[in-house]
A and B are shown apart, each in its own frame.
Chain A
Amino acid sequence: MRKNKGWMLLLTMLLITSLLAACSSGGGSPQAGEEISTDPADIKGEITVLTQRTDIVDSVFKDYAAEFNKEYPDVKVNFQALADYEGQVKIRMSTKDYGDVLMIPTSVPIADIPDFFEPLGTYDELKEKYTGIEERMVDGQIYGIPTVITFSGIIYNKQVFKDAGIAEVPKTPEQFQAALQLVKDNTDAVPLYTNYASGWALTQWEADLPTVAGSVDYVNIDQPNTDENFVAGKPHYELYKVLYDAAKNGLIEKDPTTTDWESSKADLANGKIATMALGSWAITQIQGLTDTPDNIGFLPFPTNASDVVVPLAADYNIGMNVNSENKPAAKAWIDWFLAKSNYAVEQGGGMSADKNAELPPILDQYKDVTFSTLTPAKEGQEGLVDKIDNEGEIGLWQPDFKKRIIEAAISNRSESYDDIMKDLNDKWVKARTELAK
């Protein structure tokens, strides 16, 4: 027994020291500017890849790893899928342990990216090869490359449109409202499903801003330099007017507060819902739920602009942990994943960031439509839109004011559409002056 006591003492001490040490541990960071060898035979190590795709992590990703190992036999790839990706990665990023390769959370402010991610190359090196890399660029260095390039608009059920007697695909907001009305009058389907309760689905509307503006310059160039962002006649006003009018005229689901995202996909696939405003990434998911995938179509967002511009946007960007101990292996995985996995088309429901990739077949009917990425912000104005947005608590990419619009439209609030837009514009102007100080 006496001896045991000594052991207990030792163990207790160990436990305490380890508790205290946990707060201050952490190895030295690897040397910056290390030469990265690209010869597959030289690359060794074990890497962890974080992904948001809980649905295919044990199937498709395992196959990717097997394919990858044919070229790089000495690299072991582990996967971790996180259900609440943004939330969990955010917490892990306060430590050094957030995988070797991961998707850059969209909420990380651009200016802070170099603290967490390793540069993958300079803009000049990569601009010929990939689309959409400007989004995560700091001082000419590229920190993330899009895993999928998606486009946004309205996803609709062709059969429902046919049953409703809609002869031509609606192009302007008026035609769109008329089409929704026809769906309501002639079918049992919900004309426009908002997915109010899930919240994030409402943020998909913001992606259609360039289509309404009819220009790829609006978002990053014009918007941060105007005091009239939510004024009647301007893109934001027109964009959300579509949502407001639809809700006001009873063309949305009966009780928005109890919508359910998972079942809405099946309902659209099976003709219980006519339209939803989403990104192209949803198309493959919806098609997978029906026997007649050809019924699912894509519409550019209704607009009065003379040119129809469908914005191409980057889905999650793949990046490398700056604290990774196997950077060459991580880089090899990123390059292989982008070039050879065909993830973008098969799993991402969009197209590859590779410049040579072709448009998917669902877009064949839109020969007169321009598909283009957004113009990056002017020098010195990078991330300015986000800054104004956060300062003013407006939430361009948050569901809050979209919910407010729906609530006002179904008379749950006593404010009008113009009241909401005025309030948003006041916040915008105030935040802009605040930041200009």
Chain B
Amino acid sequence: MKYLKISNWGYSAQRIFIICAFSIIPLALLFTFAYLPVINMFKYSFTDWNGYSKRFDYVGFENYSRIFSDPEYFKVFIVSLYYFVATFVQMGLALYFATILSFKIRGKNFFKGILFFPYLLNGVAIGFIFLFFFKPDGTLDTLMQAVGLGQYTQLWLGNPNIINVSLAGASVWRYMGFNFIIFLGAISSIQKDVYEASDIDGANRWQQFRHIILPSITRILQLNLILAISGAISAFDIPYIMTDGSNGSETFVIQTVHLAFKYGKLGLASAMAVVLLFIVILVTLVQRVTMKGEE
């Protein structure tokens, strides 16, 4: 019984015990819900598992060779380009609003709230909101007619040349708030006296932005860029909910989901997920290396 009392242990033993006790639960959760599925995914990617069977065969690299030998599977990355371009619009807007709202402005908190709000909404809800928004004679068309732009209305989701722009637009609306809040945080960490000093020197707002704000948040800008690019490559929720990848809006992840759950090719889909994982890692590494080179 004596040894069950922790207070009787030595200081370092207590320390080790407490560290272990506190980290074992988060570690167990992390392992169960993050690492174990990934390990299984690697395993499945070498099999022909259909998602149900208790049996499956190992097929070696067959799934991988199939992905890389059939251009059909990679064609969908063209759709990602739309989201990639939208990323810059998204970050530009976020930076613009973050800068403006970091100065003294009336109703500042109200606007901060409005800009961040879309990010808090559930993705499914956003999908449905934008379905109504883009419908023929829906919100967007009505709005355009009201301001006299009626002749420019389109089948926003029906026209295959526009559909990805519409969807990327919805995606910008949704994720801009996230970029915005991070930029805002970074900007507000800049010392106030730097501004004061520049005011005395007669700098205007643009000069303050160009020479004080921008250099101070380069790190955060890079981080957001990495997040946004890997987000563009793995774009999923908005097009999946709104169009299910039809009419030319299929992204790589939607294609993976379809292969796994429509055609029962869990093995092939896992291999695609592994490939995507490596692409994202690669993009991140390339970015880190090039960004480092600049300094």
Contact = CB atoms under 8 A, between A and B. Distances in A.
B158 interface: yes
A387 to B, nearest CB: 10
A20 B28 CA distance: 9
B6 A255 contact: no
A390 B25 contact: no
7 closest A-B pairs by beta carbon, nearest first, are A257-B157, A255-B158, A412-B160, A258-B135, A255-B136, A403-B246, A390-B263
Interface string A247-283: 0000000111110000000000000000000000000
Nearest to B154: A255
Given A107-B264, A395-B262, A90 B51 contact: yes
28 contacts: A9-B4, A9-B6, A12-B21, A19-B25, A20-B28, A90-B51, A107-B264, A111-B53, A112-B53, A116-B52, A254-B155, A255-B135, A255-B155, A257-B155, A257-B157, A258-B134, A258-B138, A390-B263, A393-B265, A398-B262, A400-B258, A400-B262, A403-B246, A403-B247, A407-B160, A407-B246, A412-B159, A413-B248
A301 B34 CA distance: 50
Interface string B5-46: 111000000000000010011001000100000000000000
A112 B134 contact: no
B98 interface: no
B208 interface: no
B243 interface: yes
A395 B4 CA distance: 63
A412 B247 contact: yes
A381 to B, nearest CB: 19
Interface string A395-435: 10011100100010010110000000000000000000000
Tell me which of B32, B50, B53, B246 has the highest count of chain A C-beta atoms within 10 A of its own C-beta. B246
Given A257-B157, A257-B246, A390-B265, A16 B5 contact: no
Interface string A140-160: 000000000000000000000
A196 interface: yes
Given A16-B28, A107-B52, A197-B246, 13 more contacts: A93-B52, A109-B52, A115-B53, A199-B244, A255-B136, A258-B138, A395-B262, A398-B263, A399-B246, A407-B160, A407-B248, A410-B158, A412-B160
A2 interface: yes
A109 B264 contact: yes
A360 interface: no
B54 interface: yes
A254 B135 CA distance: 10
B25 to A, nearest CB: 7
B131 interface: yes
A199 B53 CA distance: 26
A359 interface: no
Contacts of B259: 393
Given A16-B24, A393-B263, A407 B247 contact: yes
Nearest to A254: B136
A6 interface: yes
A407 B263 CA distance: 22
Nearest to A386: B264
A412 B248 contact: yes
Interface string B246-263: 111000000000110111
A112 B5 contact: no
Contacts of A9: 4, 6, 21
Contacts of A258: 131, 134-136, 138, 157-158
A112 to B, nearest CB: 5
Contacts of A23: 32
Interface in A122-156: none
Interface in B222-275: 243-244, 246-248, 258-259, 261-265
A3 B49 CA distance: 52
Tell me which of B50, B51, B247 has the highest count of chain A C-beta atoms within 10 A of its own C-beta. B247
Contacts of A56: none
A5 interface: yes
Interface in B44-85: 50-54
Nearest to B52: A112
Given A19-B32, A393-B263, A256 B158 contact: yes
B158 A109 contact: no
A15 interface: yes
A6 B4 contact: yes
A397 B62 CA distance: 26
Interface in A15-58: 15-16, 19-20, 23
A109 B51 CA distance: 10
Contact of B54 (A107, A112, A254, A410): A112
A169 interface: no
A108 interface: yes
A16 B26 CA distance: 11
Nearest to B17: A9
A16 B25 contact: yes
